[in-house]
Chains A and B, each alone.
Chain A
Amino acid sequence: MDRNKITKWLKEPAKMANKYSLHAIYFCTGCGIIEIPPVITARWDAERFGVIPAATPRQANLFLITGYVSVKTLRAIIRTYEQMPEPKYTVGFGSCPINGGMYWDSYNTIKHLDKYIPIDGWIAGCMPRPEAIFIAVTHLWTLIDKEMANGYIRYRKNYESYRRNQELALGKLEWPPLYKASEEPQGNEQ
């Protein structure tokens, strides 16, 4: 262990533990998932960075959205995201979740994913190389250190707007709201 970081560990043990053990949910959408098997296996070995795949959303706290999001997939993404325990981090992957990418005029593809769920970081490219994933992970560490990876807090805060956008895209949602309006934190400005 790096000696210089001992004070940091003692000061904020939970944050440091969070940083170095990111559990990425197995969620395949679009073409970017083809980059994930080499990333998590021997060739690039994401475990060097503490990233390990998790089988279910309730065991994961890193959500990689790996490609274009069709309207039907958005429903699954929202349900998966809402099941993940906090703190949770979302990374949009490739140009399609950012602004639609090559599907910018498609009739059935979500253009801006950050209108529906909060995103902590983006990886640009079509497709990003596995190295870009590690750069994103190290950036995410910095963001967690500075408490800027606060997507789950923003989700709680702006839940009504997010839910309204989700209903605009998907029609009526068949699950109840995750947070009630009364639960909305008032003085918890981050």
Chain B
Amino acid sequence: MNKSLKEKIESTFKDLKVAIPEESRIAVTAENHSVLAILRFLKDAGFNHLALISAVDWIEDGFFELCFILTSYMQNNVEYTDSQRLHIILKTLIPREKPQCKTAIGIFPNAEPYEREIHELFGIKFEGHPRLTPLLLEREYEIPPFRKDFDTRKYVEDVFGNIPSVENNK
């Protein structure tokens, strides 16, 4: 099943790399502009569950990497063995200077909270997202806190270290 799906993806799209890092995993590395088309294709191929969107900050290469992890609900059925339960990881690189990507809400509606979270923690803007409002954080940060150039220790010293204790003042 892995092999046939791999050939199917490779024959449909150009400019992408398909690897099988281990059994029951497929890693697709694609260009930014073709991500939505690949997601649509994979959804039609039966991978109808977007399990996760995550981001990685490759600060030395100057890229953010977005990972979409797709599975299928049908694979939870009894007739599927463990080796047949397939996860597809779709990776794409976004330049760090211009962190923008098109939203995947049109294909997977449950992408909304993931994209809000990534927007908040990494500062990646998702075009077409209806509400990129704060989700988890309480305050504004100059640099989004999950980026590698965010200095947590300095931030903690500046913000929480400067708050005086109350009882020892007496």
Contact = CB atoms under 8 A, between A and B. Distances in A.
B137 to A, nearest CB: 6
Interface residues of A, number: 24
Contact of A108 (B145, B164, B165, B166): B145
B131 interface: no
B165 A112 contact: yes
A175 interface: no
A75 interface: yes
A168 B165 CA distance: 12
Interface in B111-141: 136-139, 141
Given A71-B139, A75-B138, A111 B167 contact: no
B73 interface: no
B166 A162 contact: yes
A161 B145 contact: no
Contact of A107 (B141, B163, B166, B167): B141
B165 A111 contact: no
Contacts of B159: 169
B156 interface: yes
Interface in A109-164: 110-112, 114-115, 118, 154, 158, 161-162
Interface size class of B (residues with CB under 8 A): 20 to 34
Given A108-B138, A108-B145, A165 B163 contact: yes
B138 A105 contact: no
Nearest to A74: B138
A171 B139 contact: yes
A169 B161 CA distance: 11
Given A71-B139, A75-B138, A111 B160 contact: yes
Contacts of B163: 112, 115, 165, 168-169
Interface stretch (B33-41, B79-87, B147-155): B147-155
Nearest to A117: B166
A72 interface: yes
B117 to A, nearest CB: 13
Contacts of B169: 161
B150 A107 contact: yes
B138 A71 contact: yes
A170 interface: yes
A106 interface: yes
B162 interface: yes
21 contacts: A71-B138, A72-B138, A105-B152, A106-B152, A106-B156, A107-B145, A107-B150, A107-B152, A108-B136, A108-B137, A114-B165, A114-B166, A115-B164, A154-B167, A158-B166, A161-B169, A165-B163, A168-B162, A169-B159, A170-B138, A171-B139
